[in-house]
Amino acid sequence: MSEVGHPVNPLDFRALDFDRLWNGREKTTEVERRVVQESLRDCDLRRILEVGPGGGRIATTLLATGEEFVGVDVTLEFLVRLRARWRQEGTWVAADTVRLPLESGSFSVAVLVRVYNFLTDPTASLRELFRVLVPGGRLVVSYFSEPSVASALDDLGRRLRGSSPSQTPPRSPEPYRPALPTRERFRATVEAVGFLWGREYSVGLEDLRLLRWLPTDLFLSLARTFGAAGALPHHFVLLRKPGEPPARLPPIESIVLCPECRSPVAGLGTGTFQGSSCPGCGRTLPVVEGVPDLRPFWTGGGEPGSEAVRVLAP
């Protein structure tokens, strides 16, 4: 059990090697970036929130797309590396998606790629994303569903290569096994939160070695064609929060909150905050190499993890 007063993450992703995980899968990254770009084509891009940026595969595109960008991950070490890479760009905050330390109605877009299946409480996380979006805000979320035509083809390829189809596929290496909802269950969950269903894309064939030589535009065409059918394993959906967007967003320097008492912490959203105490409750708010650590604290009782979210970032 973790010591009292220390952040808890039920799965430790710090050792995840993104270079190894994505080696040879540049086509997959290219296709997923293009799907995200197309999903956001007609969206309000004033301020983008990405949950689970991990190694920065999608953040690269979002930083170039939005006017302002905030990256949130439960693994502090990932964010420290990303901030060192993009020191003058974006705001990076270590936080928990079931209790985002962010002001309500402060983002026009949120993006969640290869994260949903690893959340311990997907409904609570979606509610938080709904809360921090402005009316009319958009959420691009990707998820893997129960076995599909493409996953069957993937199993066949593994048999031909002499490996067991029961082994975890490259997109979710052990010990980070995902939960796989049906497409119907996923839609029911997001609509129960209040989101309106939008465009769908379905991808996954580009991750098969024998097909990676095909042009990206072809995979995008297939993603549009198979979107509503859901024949491929990895689904992207553009969701919308009902309402009309406001003319102005709250200033970014005031949107980051204390995770305990929800008091605004001046300067934290600009990257100039150097660590101090919350003006509301006095909690110490550490900053590690420019990244504020605003994850919830374990306060004892039962097994650790009840206040944390499992996030596998791409």
> Token pair of 249, please?
């967003």
- Mean pLDDT of the region 59-77: 94
Q: 221: pLDDT confidence band, cut at 50, 70 and 90?
A: very high
Cα 121 to its chain centre, rounded Å, is 14
pLDDT tens, 241-265?
Answer: 999 999 999 999 889 898 888 888 8
Average pLDDT of the residues in 211-227: 92
Question: In terms of Cα–Cα distance, which of 162, 146, 97, 103 is closest to 123?
Answer: 97
Alpha-carbon distance of 70 to 116, in angstroms, equals 18
Determine the 3-state secondary structure of 65 from DSSP.
helix
The residues pairing with 264 across neighbouring beta strands, listed in sequence order, are 257
18-148+178-292, CATH topology level: Rossmann fold (3.40.50)
Per residue in 155-202, pLDDT (tens digit) is 555 555 555 443 333 344 445 567 888 889 999 999 999 999 999 999
Percent of the chain exceeding pLDDT 70 equals: 78
The domains of the chain are located at 18-148+178-292
Contacts 24+ apart (CB under 8 A), 151-154: 151/204, 151/233, 153/205, 153/208, 154/204, 154/207, 154/208, 154/233
What is the full DSSP assignment across 82-107?
A: HHHHTTTS-EEEE--GGG--B-TT-E
First and final C-alpha spacing in the chain: 28
Mean pLDDT over 28-45 rounds to 96
Q: Are 79 and 92 in contact (CB under 8 A)?
A: yes
**pLDDT tens readout for residues 117-130:** 988 899 999 999 99
DSSP letter (8 states) at residue 201:
E
**Euclidean distance between CA atoms 254 and 264, whole angstroms:** 6
pLDDT more than 90, % of the chain: 53
